[in-house]
Amino acid sequence: MLRYSLMRLGLFAACFLVIWGLVYVHVLPAGLGDSNLLWVMLLALVISAPLSFVVLRGLREQASVQVSTRVERTRANLAASAAQEDEADDASRAATGS
């Protein structure tokens, strides 16, 4: 999961640098007034999102499997804990005769 996040951040940074360079050499228009940084960041986000969807597909699937495995393990642990609580409650009721 960390690897996917770092790769996604790296792809965003690469897009940011490329777009910044294109704005610097006036291939792309600059933002209005002081909004140039915001313009470059927004454009980098818009471009890096679909790129990461295609380029990082394998890493995203691996991260999804890891998250799914953790969720299933947590569910199993919660179910086991609930079963232990039910058994303890049943034993307590049987001992007191209620």
The model's pTM:
0.67
Radius of gyration of the chain (CA): 26
49 & 73 share domain: no
1 & 47 share domain: yes
Asked if 9 and 51 count as a contact pair (C-beta separation under 8 A), the reply is no
* Residue 73 structural domain: 66-98
pLDDT reported for residue 82: 81
pLDDT reported for residue 9: 95
Which residue is it, tokens 């086991």? 80
49 & 96 share domain: no
Phi, psi (rounded to 5 degrees) for 75: -60, -45
Q: In a structure prediction context, what are the per-residue pLDDT tens digits for the chain, which is 98 residues long?
A: 788 889 999 999 999 999 999 988 888 888 777 678 898 999 999 999 999 999 999 988 988 898 899 999 999 989 888 888 777 777 778 777 65
